[in-house]
Amino acid sequence: MKRIAYLDDQIEEWTSLQTQVEGLSALWDLDDGSLTDEIDQQVNELEDIIEKKEISLLLSGRYDHGNAILAIHAGAGGTDSQDWAGMLERMYLRWAENSGYKTEILDRTLGEEAGIKSVTISVSGELAYGYLKAEKGVHRLVRLSPFDAAHRRHTSFALVEVLPEIEGNDEIVIRPEDIEIEVYKSSGAGGQNVQKNMTAVRIIHLATGLVVTCQNERSQTQNRESALKVLRSRLFELQEQAHADEISDLKGEFKKVEWGSQIRSYVLHPYQMVKDHRTEYETGNTQSVLDGNLDGFIEAYLRMR
């Protein structure tokens, strides 16, 4: 029913655009010159809308239209990498807000001095996974370290994971005997109730060794449901990866993705530039990107795909 409703909305939007184009065409034929400026303005507005719709047509994957689970992990580099992971968290939260998506932090582990070690965020809204899947990979930052007394240039890495939110999927079945559930006190801020009660949940999937935690300052039951949702998505990713590896082996092609094979570099010193190494798309406005302006990078990736 969700799929039908989504397709009905898409058909209605395209039909409306077609009607508007036909109306403008008829108006152009009748125009004596007095409406030229108004018609030009409406044409420009329609072109912008159609360009955005064209991008959405590139999102035809099975889970592209659904919600996403975004996870960020600090890499090697100590405090600098943890600070970089925190910067990425802010960037994606800004992007989601500007794009009209709802976000919820499911789990966060703070860094020792600054930033975060890891964070898991639920991003809800139409096409959330379709757009965010372009961000999956290693992100590299080059800058003068604010944590180095000598103020030397440092390179930091962070891994961004993007999973589709899997709900009610018969393919991914989690039986009670397949998992081990632990509860503990939340380590994050959240008031006395969170600190006193065993609200945080850790789920271990025995067959794969996957570990998922959730301590987003709510009840134990809610944390358990959120953790199961993340586990279901991670198991789906493992299943898809196994299938992809099998196909690659049959084709005689296999490329292992190493931790250092970054998809994008953010250079703040000695010059300013953000460059995607897959699409060659780049911009010198680094601050705009770090403030969540990622649409250019996402669209370039989708067109390349």
pLDDT at residue 250, as a whole number: 57
281 and 145, same structural domain? yes
149 and 184, same structural domain? no
263 and 162, same structural domain? yes
**Which CATH number does the domain housing residue 183 bear?**
3.30.160.20
126 and 48, same structural domain? no
**Which CATH number does the domain housing residue 279 bear?**
3.30.70.1660
pTM: 0.80
Q: Is residue 204 part of a domain?
A: yes
The answer to whether the beta carbons of residues 277 and 257 sit under 8 Å apart is no
The answer to whether the beta carbons of residues 269 and 106 sit under 8 Å apart is no
| The last residue of a domain, from among 236, 251, 266 | 251
Q: Is residue 112 part of a domain?
A: yes
Q: Is residue 63 part of a domain?
A: no
90 and 7, same structural domain? no
Using one digit for the tens of pLDDT, what is the confidence trace for 180-234? 999 988 765 544 444 557 889 999 999 999 999 998 766 888 899 899 999 999 9
* 62 has a pLDDT exceeding 90: no
Range of the domain at 20: 2-57
239 and 223, same structural domain? yes
84 and 35, same structural domain? no
229 and 91, same structural domain? no
Q: Is residue 210 part of a domain?
A: yes
Bridge partners (DSSP) of residue 188 are none
CA 243 to each of CA 63, 140, 250: distance values in angstroms, whole numbers, following the listed order: 16, 29, 11
Among residues 116, 121, 164, 161, the alpha carbon closest in space to that of 137 is found at: 161
Q: How many domains, in total, are found in the chain?
A: 3
| The last residue of a domain, from among 10, 30, 57 | 57
Using one digit for the tens of pLDDT, what is the confidence trace for 45-55? 999 888 888 88
- State percent of the chain over pLDDT 90: 52
The whole-number average pLDDT for the span 111-139 is 93
Q: Is residue 212 part of a domain?
A: yes
The two tokens of residue 99 are 């794009």
194 and 107, same structural domain? no
| The last residue of a domain, from among 251, 268, 295 | 251
Place of tokens 């139409």: 126
* 304 has a pLDDT exceeding 70: yes
DSSP 178: G
> How many whole angstroms from its chain centre is CA 47?
27
124 and 73, same structural domain? yes
236 and 185, same structural domain? yes
Using one digit for the tens of pLDDT, what is the confidence trace for 146-177? 888 777 888 999 999 999 998 765 568 888 99
225 and 80, same structural domain? no
Dihedral sign, Cα of residue 222, residue 68, residue 65, residue 175:
negative
Q: Is residue 99 part of a domain?
A: yes
Q: Is residue 62 part of a domain?
A: no
Q: Is residue 264 part of a domain?
A: yes
